[in-house]
Amino acid sequence: MASPTVTAPDIPRPHARSLLERLRGGDTITYLVTLICAIAILAIVVLIVGELWMHSQPTIKKFGFGFLVSSEWNPNSGQFGALPFIYGTCVTSALALVVSIPIGVFAAIFLAEMAPPGISTVLTFLIELLAAVPSVIYGLMGIFVLVPLIREYLAPILSSAFGYLPVFSGPFYGVSFLSAGLVLAVMVVPFIISVSREVLLAVPVDQREAALALGATKWETTWQVVLPNASTGIIGSVFLALARALGETMAVTMVVGNTPNISASLFSPGYSIAAVIANEFSEATGDLYISSLIFLGLVLFGLTIVINGLARILIMATTQRRA
């Protein structure tokens, strides 16, 4: 570069900065530190999957992927199969979502759109406290409050009105898929409410005002304008809820009946992957038994990924169609 004929001697010339100067500048360090943190998380996940895979080898060698479709779980004779636990995990989580999504979204709509500000603040605070309650407390609440309530009131009503349907057939003994699903629903509703409420509040005011100006009622505004705008966030909260429901251990094991059972009826006792690992891992002796439980853990991990992936594909498909 040709230097001009008149230069002030103290104007610094632009030049390529050396590594040391870049480091002292702070941007490079920030980049490196944040990169390391992000990679660390990924590394931990890869490590977890690797360890689970390694320790599941005896079971994989003996049963192969037939483990995933076998329903025989007999520690004494050495027969292990994951199907009842996969079924139980899916059924309890599905029931929890079916019950909690409408309640959660409508509660969020009330808090964001319709409640007077004072009530809204107080209720929101209380609901966010609920999200922090440890799961053992929910389990105790399940056993001592929810299960007797279901046994006295809900189960007889369902049985007499819908007893002919396979999903509500059979006797009700308190601990069941139904109880576990409802306890899980109570646990995940606070997540759905708090995230959905935030997302609903974030919808721009001019969208609402435009709808109202066109003559829409409050409900029509909410249902046709605000909710679609907030739908991505609400679906995010549902994923959060689903993740908690799939992995929930203590609350489920206290009310699900701990019986490896595949039954269409919600009144029947069942089991879930997290519950069986919590129950049997500490006393499990023998390589095959322990590796079967570890393989179940890997299966839960895979189940979470598959369900999340399918849900995201479904969402992408529906949003693209709408677009």
Dist. CA 57–CA 37, nearest whole Å: 31
Crossing angle (nearest 10°) for helices 117-130 and 177-201: 140
Q: Is 66 helix (H, G, I), strand (E, B) or coil?
A: helix
3-class DSSP state of 246:
helix
CB-nearer residue toward another protein: 82 or 230 = 82
Q: Which residue, 50 or 148, has its beta carbon nearer to another protein?
A: 148
- For the bound state, the minimum distance from the C-beta of residue 62 to another protein, rounded and expressed in Å, comes to 17
Beta bridge partners of 79: 74
Residue 29 CB, nearest distance to another protein (Å)?
A: 39
Q: Which of 253, 263, 265, 291 binds another protein (CB under 8 A)?
A: 253
**DSSP helix/strand/coil, 257:** coil
The residue type found at 64 is G
Window of 20-28, 71-79, 123-131, 294-302 that interacts with another protein by CB under 8 A:
71-79
Judged by CB under 8 A, the chain residues 157 through 216 that form the site for another protein are: 171, 173-175
Does 275 bind another protein (CB under 8 A)? Our answer is yes
- Site for another protein (CB under 8 A): how many residues? 30
H or E element at residue 34: helix 27-55
Binding residue (CB under 8 A) for another protein from 91, 147, 178, 274: 147
Q: Tell which residue, 152, 135, 142, 136, has the closest CA to residue 175.
A: 142
Q: Which of residues 39-68 bind another protein (CB under 8 A)?
A: none
**Exactly one of 11, 206, 283, 322 binds another protein (CB under 8 A); which one?**
283
Q: Which of 216, 236, 215 is nearest to 226 (CA)?
A: 216
- Residues forming contacts to another protein in the complex (CB under 8 A) are 72-77, 143-144, 147-148, 151, 171, 173-175, 253-254, 257-259, 269, 271, 275, 278-280, 282-285
